Amino acid sequence: MSDTKQFLLLVGSPRAANSTSESLGMFLWRQMNHERFSLIKEYTHRLVVREEKRDYLINLINKADLIVFSFPLYVDHLPAPLIKTMEIIYEMKGNLKRPQNKSLIAISNSGFPEASQIDLAIKICQVFTDEMGFQWKGGLQFGGGEVIHGRDLEDAGRMTESLKKGLKIAGRNLSQDKPISQEAKELVAEQTIPMGMFKLFANLGWRWRALKNWNVFNLKNKPFSN
């Protein structure tokens, strides 16, 4: 009988293979001990569109030893397909085998430079884990996700050095069935973009979009203020 464990990566971004969420999840996977873990990868928006996918999803969870939610932050929250995935798993929790032997982690990225914007989303994942009877192994929060923009982390440049170092440590932790260390969390959460630079480029980008839509003089309008 094989002792290989299943690493289930559930990518919560609708951009799927071109997403920063996939890039982060796959980089973490490459740090795992592949003699102990094998990979299963799915995209949550493809798991919730049809009723017949429910049984397939539960089968995935039953096979998994380590479940990884990797997702972008959407308005301080999880993306809708990931929320629906969690709802289905919870509704069918009676069909799960040995939930106490399964672990779950969350990796979230945000367009904002401060990783603290993700606090609430990670807490939601932790509460879900507790409700399911899984083991919570921790959450990783990365601000400034646009510096990756779906690229492989190996090609993302020097701004992601702390991020990669943190993911490598997290991979070692998880390969040994340990929770993600505080050191790994802090390295992943290090701010990659100075706030002044973020504001400058955000404002320039906003004005460029307005210019392309012939709307540059209406940016400060408040049509619903009354």
Q: Are 2 and 130 in contact (CB under 8 A)?
A: no
pLDDT digits (tens, 9 = 90+) for 25-45: 999 999 999 999 999 999 999
Q: Higher pLDDT residue, 19 or 192?
A: 19
Q: Are 108 and 188 in contact (CB under 8 A)?
A: no
Helix (H), strand (E) counts: the chain: 8, 5
* 201 pLDDT higher than 80: no
Q: The pTM is what?
A: 0.87
